[in-house]
Every structure is written in structure tokens, then in C-alpha cells.
Amino acid sequence: MTNAQKNRIIDKSFQVFGIVCTFFGLAILAILLYNIVIQGAARIDWDFLKDLPSRRPQKAGIYTAVMGTIWILVLTTMIAFPIGVGAGIYLEEYAKKTKLASLLEINIANLAGVPSIIYGLLGLEIFVRIFGLGGSVLAGSLTLSLLILPIIIVATREALKAVPSSIKDASMALGASKWQTIWNQTLPASIGGVLTGVILAISRAIGETAPLIVVGALAYVPFAPSSPMDEFTVMPIQIFNWVSRPQHGFAVNASAAIIVLLLITFMMNGIAVYFRNKWQKKIKW
């Protein structure tokens, strides 16, 4: 066997390996979706979306869980978006490259890897007990904000980094201040990337169960929150609760709720892609 033949075989086998790797993930996803859709799709109807929790699987609905999830979603975005983007801008544009800055940087990267239950315990102590917020939507949102802040900060920094320095230099050369440059040039140019990061982070937040259980989200809440101080439940908790019930009907409900949650996540990701494309096309230098 010549060297060339050998190389061709290696080349080919790596290609096959790559394809197998790609399809492995897809196959798992397909099996999961197939199982869930077969079991739960028929259960989804308008009543399922608007009914309150119940001990009878056929009567139970996810209205309060969906409303709780939406409340959490909106509040978490409102808290984490400005703080995360602000911190990202500071670290990328203003912070001097000192030891302190690199220490901050390492810590933020570390925070992104902390298990979510730890954030739950932190949230319980600080927001629920010290701030006295109780097991409210606000306490849950603040906790989830902590959880996704590192992701948003890192995404913001990456997006800002991708803006060519020639644009910033040109703006500065025309006499613009640092803030004018950021507001009028850097941010508009990177907003697509920033938003993508934020929306992906939020998509992660709506799937979280553990920290919210610790903070005090409940299993049975027969009313939708009407203020940030109300008690709440969210979809992952509802699903978890149903999966652990003995009656088969609840397993069907859980599958149906998983489909709804997946649809919400897909929608969020769709929105992220839409905004990214829309804003990126507009940029003409």
C-alpha cells in the first residue's frame, strides 16, 4: 500500500466517523421527539392549555405553568439583559487589561460552569430570606438572572470583539467620544450577536427546574401570577411532578407539556435567528 492510498483510507474513515458523530446526536433527538410526540401529541388541545392543575390527568392543564414560565421569562430578561450587556460592554470596551480585569474574566468564565442548583441555594439565602421576597416570581427571576448572566456577558463580549477596530478607530478619529462610538457604531453593529446570546441564555433559563424548586416554586398553584410577588410554578416543575405520579395519564400529560415547552424553546430560537439575520443585513460599512 502506497502512502497516498493509506492517506486516502484515513481521510475516508475520518469522514465516516464525522458523519456517525453528527447522526448520533440527531438520532437521539429523533428518538426522544418520536417517543414524546407519539405519547403526548393527541393530548394537546385548547383545554389542556387553559385548564388548571388537577388530580385527574384528563382534566389537568398547564395554564398556570405556562403563565409562570412567561412571567419568569419576561422578568428574567428585564433583569439580566441590561446588567449582562452593561457588564459585557464595560469589560470589553472600558476595562483596562489589568490583573483585576483578567481575574474578573476568569471568574465569569467559571461562573458559567457552576451547577444550577448552587445558584438556587444562593437565591434562597439572598433573595428569598435576606431580601424577604419569599418564593415569589421575582425571587425566581433574580436567581435565574444570576444563572444566565455569565452566558450573556460572554456572548456580548464576543459580539463586540467581532466589530472591526477600523470602524471604532474611524469613529474616534472623527471626534466621537467613547460612549458615542459604542452607542452609534459598536452596539448597532453587534446587536445581532448580543441578542442571539441573550435569547439562547433565556432559552436555557426556561428549562431550569432545580434552582426554582430550591427557591420555592410550588407544585400546585391554581392561579396565574398577577404581580412579581406572587407564588408561581413553571413548566419544567409541572412536568417533573407529572412524571413522578403513579397514574399513566400523567405521563401522557407530561409528554404533552414537554411538546409545548419544546415549541416555546423553538420559537425563542427562531426569534433569535430572525433578529440576527435582520440586523446583520442592515449593516453596511
Q: Which residues pair with 213 in a beta bridge?
A: none
x/- map, 247-266, another protein, by CB under 8 A: xx--x---------------
Asked if 105 contacts 91 with a C-beta cutoff of 8 angstroms, the reply is yes
Sorted by sequence, the CB contacts under 8 Å of residue 147 that are 6+ apart come out as 116, 119, 204, 205, 208, 211
162 binds another protein (CB under 8 A): no
222 binds another protein (CB under 8 A): yes
x/- map, 42-81, another protein, by CB under 8 A: ----------xxxx------------------xx--x--x
Member of 134, 167, 200, 262 binding another protein (CB under 8 A)? 134
184 binds another protein (CB under 8 A): yes
- In the numeric block, which cell numbers belong to residue 201? 441564555
User: For residue 133, what are the CA distances in angstroms to 69, 137, 149, 168?
Assistant: 18, 9, 20, 43
Nearer to another protein, 107 or 184 (CB): 184
Member of 219, 263, 267, 273 binding another protein (CB under 8 A)? 219
Q: Give the shortest CB-144-to-another protein separation in angstroms.
A: 16
DSSP string, 105-153: HHHHHHHTTS-HHHHHHHHIIIIIIIS---SBHHHHHHHHHHHHHHHHH
| Residue of 100, 94, 73 lying closest to 199 (CA atoms) | 73
Determine how many CB atoms are found less than 10 A away from the CB of residue 266: 11
Binding footprint of another protein, residue count (CB under 8 A): 38
244 binds another protein (CB under 8 A): yes
Nearer to another protein, 30 or 229 (CB): 229
87 binds another protein (CB under 8 A): no
User: For residue 52, what are the CA distances in angstroms to 145, 221, 241?
Assistant: 28, 8, 14
Nearer to another protein, 15 or 54 (CB): 54
127 binds another protein (CB under 8 A): no
Q: Give the shortest CB-164-to-another protein separation in angstroms.
A: 16
Cα 84 from Cα 142, distance rounded (Å) = 13
7 binds another protein (CB under 8 A): no
Q: Give the shortest CB-2-to-another protein separation in angstroms.
A: 53
- In the numeric block, which cell numbers belong to residue 105? 474574566
What contacts 24+ positions apart, CB below 8 Å, involve 16-21? none
Q: Which stretch binds another protein (CB under 8 A): 20-28, 149-157, 184-192, 200-208?
A: 184-192
Q: Which residues bind another protein (CB under 8 A)?
A: 52-55, 74-75, 78, 81, 134-135, 184, 187-188, 191, 216-223, 226-229, 231, 241, 243-248, 251, 279, 282-283
